[in-house]
């Protein structure tokens, strides 16, 4: 507590806000958090997805919408998760395309695993 005594209340609040902003940025570029949000969205639409004639297509739409269209965001997601993303095994020649493909494949795998679990519960 003695370390905080040298700061004013407004300085402490500003530092706390900076910390929260940093934490929010980390979540934005974390595949774990992106996957959690995707699964949450799928859970919210579970009934509609499972009743659809082509549930895999519906899941793919959710995966598509989970990937940022901004190049900077895509690069930051890769930079923060490069150990989980395989860009070497693609035939895509440009780096950004390979990154987007790898992010899509990762999220698609998570989403389709969720779908498989849901189908097993219903069967």
pLDDT tier for residue 39 given thresholds of 50, 70 and 90: very high
> With pLDDT > 90 as the criterion, what percentage of the chain qualifies?
60
Closest C-alpha among 116, 14, 107 to residue 65:
107
Q: Is residue 106's pLDDT more than 60? A: yes
Mean pLDDT of 33-54: 96
Q: Is residue 3's pLDDT more than 90? A: no
- Which own/partner contact pairs does 12-18 have at CB distance under 8 Å and 24+ positions apart? none
Domain boundaries, the chain: 32-122
Q: What CATH number should be reported for the domain whose range is 32-122?
A: 1.20.120
> With pLDDT > 70 as the criterion, what percentage of the chain qualifies?
83
Q: What distance in Å separates the CA atoms of residue 76 and residue 30, rounded to the nearest whole number?
A: 9
The angle at the Cα of 44, spanning 42 to 45, to the nearest 5 degrees, equals: 65
Closest C-alpha among 112, 122, 117, 113 to residue 58:
112
Q: What distance in Å separates the CA atoms of residue 7 and residue 99, rounded to the nearest whole number?
A: 43
């Amino acid at each position: 507590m003695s370390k905080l005594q040298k700061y004013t209340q407004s300085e402490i609040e500003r530092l706390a806000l900076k910390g929260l902003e940093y934490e929010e940025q980390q979540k934005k570029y974390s595949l774990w958090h992106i996957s959690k949000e995707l699964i949450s969205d799928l859970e919210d639409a579970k009934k509609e997805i499972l009743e659809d004639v082509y549930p895999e297509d519906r899941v793919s739409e959710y995966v598509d919408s989970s990937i940022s269209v901004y190049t900077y965001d895509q690069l930051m997601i890769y930079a923060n998760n490069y150990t989980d993303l395989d860009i070497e095994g693609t035939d895509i020649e440009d780096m950004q395309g390979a990154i987007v493909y790898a992010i899509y494949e990762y999220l698609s795998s998570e989403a389709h695993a969720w779908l498989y679990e849901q189908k097993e519960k219903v069967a």
